[in-house]
């Protein structure tokens, strides 16, 4: 075989592999979109849920801050967060139906009369990723996935399905300014189509945040008074 023929065959092989990779990436994106739709449909049926969350934020690839709390949600947009680490005993209440953009903080469970209100834009009420309290429920996160799958260039997609679990990677813009692309690795339980682990990375593939979510209780029949400070 001549050198020219060999180079031609190599070029065709590269084109074929590139086309295969593009087809695989497109297939992964379609599968991820199908999972996100399942998540959306499952969440629509929920009236409320509770879960236990451990959230770790990283700086320069090293653990920086860790939060442990119980998260409670009721439609339409009632939120209660009970912290155990740090700020043990602190509770945040938010109700989107009261017409305000404020949340109530009760710093000590043993001193229920002691409480104060803050704007949801106050940095004290934002996560280190820049999320406001009204952006922390799973309904908001599912919309975030669907929005970014449709509007952000997907540099890479990965999709794995094994047993009762699904794992996928997608790209999204940051929560704060929606300018910087970030990579998410999401682990979903097919039992209830909700995530049990969320990992967030920057463009350099350095870990920014890991959230583990455990002990979901779905449709717990939470009373409205539970969300009153």
Residue 1: predicted pLDDT: 53
199 neighbors 213 (Cβ within 8 angstroms): no
Domains in the chain, CATH or no CATH each: 5-224 (2.50.20.10)
Considering the entire predicted model, what is its pTM? 0.84
Q: What percentage of the chain has pLDDT greater than the value 70?
A: 87
Dist CA 18 CA 223 (whole Å): 55
Residue 13: predicted pLDDT: 38
Least confident of 77-86, 109-118, 174-183, 192-201: 109-118
Position 143 pLDDT exceeds 80: yes
Listed as own residue / partner, the contacts of 28-35 with beta carbons closer than 8 Å and 24 or more positions apart are 28/157, 28/158, 28/159, 28/168, 29/149, 29/154, 29/157, 29/170, 31/159, 31/161, 31/168, 32/149, 32/157, 32/159, 32/168, 32/170, 33/146, 33/149, 35/166, 35/168, 35/188, 35/193
Indicate the pLDDT class of residue 109, thresholds 50, 70 and 90: confident
Position 7 pLDDT exceeds 60: no
| DSSP code of residue 133 | G
CB count within 10 Å of CB 193 equals: 20
């Amino acid at each position: 075989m001549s050198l020219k023929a060999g180079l031609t065959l190599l070029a065709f092989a590269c084109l074929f592999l590139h086309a295969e990779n593009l087809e695989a990436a497109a297939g992964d994106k379609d599968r991820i979109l199908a999972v996100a739709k399942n998540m959306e449909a499952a969440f629509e049926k929920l009236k409320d849920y509770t879960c236990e969350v451990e959230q770790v934020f990283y700086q320069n690839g090293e653990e920086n801050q860790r939060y442990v709390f119980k998260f409670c949600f009721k439609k339409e947009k009632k939120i209660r967060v009970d912290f155990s680490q740090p700020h043990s005993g602190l509770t945040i209440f938010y109700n989107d139906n009261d017409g305000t953009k404020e949340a109530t903080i009760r710093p000590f469970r043993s001193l229920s009369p002691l409480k104060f209100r803050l704007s949801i834009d106050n940095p004290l009420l934002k996560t280190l990723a820049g999320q406001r309290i009204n952006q922390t429920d799973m309904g908001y996160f599912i919309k975030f996935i669907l929005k970014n799958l449709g509007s952000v260039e997907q540099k890479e997609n990965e999709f794995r399905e094994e047993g009762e679990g699904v794992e996928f990677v997608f790209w999204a813009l940051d929560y704060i300014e929606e300018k910087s692309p970030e990579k998410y690795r999401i682990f979903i339980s097919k039992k209830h189509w909700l995530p049990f682990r969320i990992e967030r990375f920057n463009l350099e593939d350095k870990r920014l945040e890991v959230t583990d979510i455990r002990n979901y209780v779905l449709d717990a029949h939470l009373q409205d008074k539970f969300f009153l400070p």
